[in-house]
Amino acid sequence: MGKLTGFMDYQRQGNPAADPLERIKNFNEFHPMLSREERERQGARCMDCGVPFCQSGVQLGGMYTGCPLHNLIPEWNDMIYRGNWEHALSRLRKTSNFPEFTGRVCPALCEAGCTCGFHDSPVTVKENELALIEYGYANGLITPQIPKVRSGKRVAVVGSGPSGLAVADQLNHRGHWVTVFERFDRIGGLLMYGIPNMKLEKQIVQRRVDLMTAEGVTFVTNCNIGVDKSAQELLDEFDAVVLCCGASNPRDLNNPGREANGIHFAVDFLRANTKSLLDSNLTDGNYISAKDKDVIVVGGGDTGNDCIGTCMRHGCKSITALEMMPKAPDHRLPSNPWPQWPRVCKTDYGHEEAIAVFGHDPRVYQTTVKEFHADENGNLCAVTIVHLESKKDEKTGRMMMVPVEGSEETLPCQLLLIAAGFLGSQKYVTDAFGVELNQRTNVKTEEGCYKTSVDKVFVAGDMHRGQSLVVWGVAEGRGCAREVDEYLMGYSFL
């Protein structure tokens, strides 16, 4: 696969990034693509490694490595190197519904498993994938594929995020009539309102939605199932219902002073910003502004980083990111060997921008909120934080992060964003359908299956597996679609 000596002949070269001080002036994507010639050299680095962990999608050391979609990565890398981009694209599309999404926002589990990464830098798999799908769109290779035969079966999909779109795409191509219900005003779920524009511009999402519409999928917006339309109506009107509502119940902070104005969940902050940006380019004022404010972000994951990047574009006065856990090592430890996912400190785009503007990393490790302080008008004005240390719990024997006595600090803060993860699906949806939940408040199914405890009702995505990645949402959607197809037809070749 690729050039036999390509991994020795060529160094890894990723898409360039705009300077942090320039890119914070707008919400545009900031990674222009390499030339076709250079991309083919990057494809040449894919070695004939014999065991391509890049496409394995397996759990090692408690974390996944390799692509959950089992993309045929060595095949299309080889075709890129040989200049046969049309064939490469056809192999990519065989396993991946939305490479334009994963090629932008996936953390690249595939690259963690790349054999080149054992001694050197991994192949630019994620960017090769993105280059292929954008080549396809630019050259008229991505056209509506309308099913020639329809089954007559009708499927309702509740939620239009990655898993919902994948379910709809698969079942529509199988010949079923699919209707997707979305509670917000635009289709895309997490893709539209959870991921900011600088990572995924929304015309990219709409382009795919338009393609799916042309292929026969029906999209209904501003329809909140369980509120605007009952679960029973869906069960009466459709042959199967698939719940893809996400893990949209955010984890809260119940510290003293929580009622102060200026404390928001990250998901609400990001959604309002994107909606206002799309509606009016932020001129309508219908968003939570960080301009000239001291901002604290609680949570160190991708969502926290997206909040930092958004605040930098608003023009915040300062920004601090609180992370409960210790800083990860800068280089992988012997206890974390390849091809495990590398547990190392990642400085993402938002952190880079904060460093460029303020001169220091915004992250403060082993720290959490102790108390919120409001002014005489009830507005947040300061936050007391406390440092943490790891200690063994005498009762359970587990290591716990506990406050260090006397380590409190009070920081000025007029806007605090909670990006501390999610606790599962929202109760009103699961109650409406009467589906059984597991201990993590995800919808319960048998292991490896997608059918719920209620007849005709299936589940996929974060609502099923818990908060996860876009690529896992797509993989769940594909697996669920096959099970729904078997339920409707008695067999499936999906």
The predicted model gives 200-216 an average pLDDT of 98
Looking at residue 75, its amino acid is E
Dihedral over Cα of 92, 98, 101, 106: its sign: negative
Instruction: Give the containing element (helix H, strand E) for 303.
Output: helix 302-314
The predicted model gives 169-195 an average pLDDT of 98
Those residues with Cβ within 8 angstroms of residue 233's Cβ, 6 or more apart along the chain or in another chain: none
Residue 389 bridge partners (DSSP): 402
Query: Quick one: tokens of 357?
Result: 């503007």
pLDDT of 302 strictly over 90: yes
Strands 380-392 and 367-374, bridge-based pairing: antiparallel
CATH homologous superfamily, domain 154-248+423-489 = FAD/NAD(P)-binding domain (3.50.50.60)
What confidence category does residue 262 fall into, taking pLDDT thresholds of 50, 70 and 90?
very high
pLDDT digits (tens, 9 = 90+) for 354-388: 999 999 999 999 999 999 999 999 999 999 999 99
pLDDT digits (tens, 9 = 90+) for 35-61: 999 999 999 999 878 899 999 999 999
pLDDT of 278 strictly over 80: yes
The predicted model gives 63-86 an average pLDDT of 96
6-138 fold = Fumarate Reductase Iron-sulfur Protein; Chain B, domain 2 (1.10.1060)
* Cβ-based neighbour number of residue 453 at 10 Å: 14
Q: Reduced to 3 states, what is the DSSP secondary structure of residue 380?
A: strand
What confidence category does residue 294 fall into, taking pLDDT thresholds of 50, 70 and 90?
very high
Alpha-carbon distance of 315 to 5, in angstroms, equals 48
Looking at residue 67, its pLDDT comes to 97
Are 154-248+423-489 and 263-418 in the same CATH fold?
yes
Alpha-carbon distance of 101 to 92, in angstroms, equals 13
pLDDT of 69 strictly over 90: yes
Alpha-carbon distance of 256 to 20, in angstroms, equals 37
The predicted model gives 117-128 an average pLDDT of 95
Place of tokens 């509502």: 245
The predicted model gives 459-476 an average pLDDT of 96
Helices and strands in the chain, H and E counts: 17, 16
pLDDT digits (tens, 9 = 90+) for 304-340: 999 999 999 999 999 999 999 999 999 999 999 999 9
The whole-chain average pLDDT of the chain stands at 96
The CATH number fitting domain 263-418, selected from 3.30.565.10, 3.90.650.10, 3.30.1490.20, 3.50.50.60: 3.50.50.60
Of the chain, the percentage scoring pLDDT greater than 70 comes to: 100
Domain boundaries, the chain: 6-138, 154-248+423-489, 263-418
Q: Which of 171, 415, 380, 160 is nearest to 273 (CA)?
A: 415
Looking at residue 265, its pLDDT comes to 98
Buried b (16+ CB within 10 A) or exposed e, 345-363: eeebbbbbbbeebeeeebb
